[in-house]
Amino acid sequence: YLSPYRFRLTIALVGLIVSALLSLVFPAVIQGVVDSVFQDENMQLLDTITFALLFVFFLRSISSFLESYNLNYIGERIVVDIRKELYNHLQYLSIKFFTDRRVGELVSRISSDVTVMRTVLTGNISTLLQQSLTLVGSVIIIFVLNWRLTMFILVMIPIVVVLGFFFGIYMRRASTEVQDEI
């Protein structure tokens, strides 16, 4: 379902990568502001860093817009494609199929289940990629700044993963219950 939208997906991924990398720049720029004002008392450097920060905000806004716009476009087009395919498929099913199923179930499949697929294909995947890039970049930055702190954080990761796993099971059950209720 994504293949017809490869070009827009590429633009969205480039925007995602640029946005994630620029989000890693913010702490360094803020540190520069704090150092220039409180330690060096250099107001000219403060002006330069402030303009750099505004430029980074501007670039990040553009890249986030490109990512968001293209992913939403792709997501909505995928919903249309899947719904058309489902509708066309329904045209060729036997009458027995329709007598064995409730109309509400079929409508729910075409409307809400397709929307869930859209969220998985566009929203969740982009969030996973962006958070992964931010995580890897943050670990690299922390390792460069303080390798002992990095080792402590890396030791804590399995605990967080286990907690996330159990929370994910709970969320999956709750999501399934909501979907069944709908």
Per-residue pLDDT, averaged over 152-158, amounts to 87
Spell out the SS3 assignment of the chain.
CCHHHHHHHHHHHHHHHHHHHHHHHHHHHHHHHHHHHHHCCCHHHHHHHHHHHHHHHHHHHHHHHHHHHHHHHHHHHHHHHHHHHHHHHHHCCCHHHHHHCCHHHHHHHHHHHHHHHHHHHHHHHHHHHHHHHHHHHHHHHHHHHCHHHHHHHHHHHHHHHHHHHHHHHHHHHHHHHHHHHC
Q: What is the pTM of this model?
A: 0.69
Q: CA separation (Å) from 182 to 18, 69, 72, 119?
A: 38, 29, 24, 17
At residue 69 the predicted structure's pLDDT band, cuts being 50, 70 and 90, is very high
Give the whole-angstrom CA distance, residue 94 versus residue 8: 38
Can you give the length of the chain in residues? Answer: 182
pLDDT tens figures, 30-58 = 777 777 777 777 777 777 878 888 898 89
To the nearest whole percent, how much of the chain has pLDDT over 70?
99
CA 53 to chain centre: 24
Q: CA separation (Å) from 106 to 22, 32, 69, 98, 179?
A: 44, 58, 30, 9, 13
pLDDT tens figures, 74-89 = 888 988 888 889 889 8
